[in-house]
Chains A and B, each alone.
Chain A
Amino acid sequence: SQQGEEDPQALSIQEGENATMNCSYKTSINNLQWYRQNSGRGLVHLILIRSNEREKHSGRLRVTLDTSKKSSSLLITASRAADTASYFCATGQTNTGNQFYFGTGTSLTVIP
């Protein structure tokens, strides 16, 4: 079974707006990562946040992590049409090496 669950399943916004997607997970984690996937191609790593971090930024991306609520959020600011993709969270657990559990993804559509 998959560890993470993203919310919402689908999101449609206008170019220039901000997009927020959430991820909830079930067990203790070592780190949480966000990936992007363009229409059935390979996933691209966006950002990694460790369990002892609360917030991390990378360009237009901002990720927060709340381990007490077992949840994370990804904010994409000033969205562009090129941001249209599916976004997945993946959790890494202690003692499982690089075995990551992916959620079901949020499909983001940015309308030009």
Chain B
Amino acid sequence: DAGVTQSPTHLIKTRGQQVTLRCSPKSGHDTVSWYQQALGQGPQFIFQYYEEEERQRGNFPDRFSGHQFPNYSSELNVNALLLGDSALYLCASSPGVFNSPLHFGNGTRLTVT
């Protein structure tokens, strides 16, 4: 039973570019959340997708957008990259939207130069 898978594992981009990160949830999970984790910090909630719609959003600018597909997989898009966007981006899946434990992927390490 595959857990949460994320791709790519590492990515280097230049300021101003755009990036797309991908996530496949754990089998049986229909809800996907994205978190940003800066070095030495805890994960910060970006947004959550359920039934192909954004259900909750954290305090992130509109440069951060996402999508969920009918097979529950998800993408995180970040436009106009800033140096401060350098972080580990974590995808987490759960069965449903209410207070279920999160299953995390190993993340995508994004470096913006």
Contact = CB atoms under 8 A, between A and B. Distances in A.
Interface of A: 2, 4, 30-31, 33, 35, 40-45, 48, 88, 90, 92, 96-105
B45 A100 contact: yes
Contact of B90 (A30, A42, A103): A42
Contacts of A102: 35, 42-44
10 contacts: A4-B42, A40-B109, A45-B103, A97-B48, A97-B98, A98-B48, A98-B102, A101-B45, A104-B40, A105-B41
Contacts of B43: 43, 88, 102
Contacts of A2: 41-42, 44
Interface in B5-27: none
Given A97-B55, A99-B33, A33 B106 contact: no
Interface residues of B, number: 32
A42 B107 contact: yes
Contacts of A103: 42
A107 B35 CA distance: 20
A42 B34 CA distance: 12
A42 B106 contact: yes
A102 B104 CA distance: 14
B41 A104 contact: yes
Contact of B101 (A4, A30, A45, A101): A45
A48 B98 CA distance: 13
Nearest to B4: A42
Nearest to B46: A99
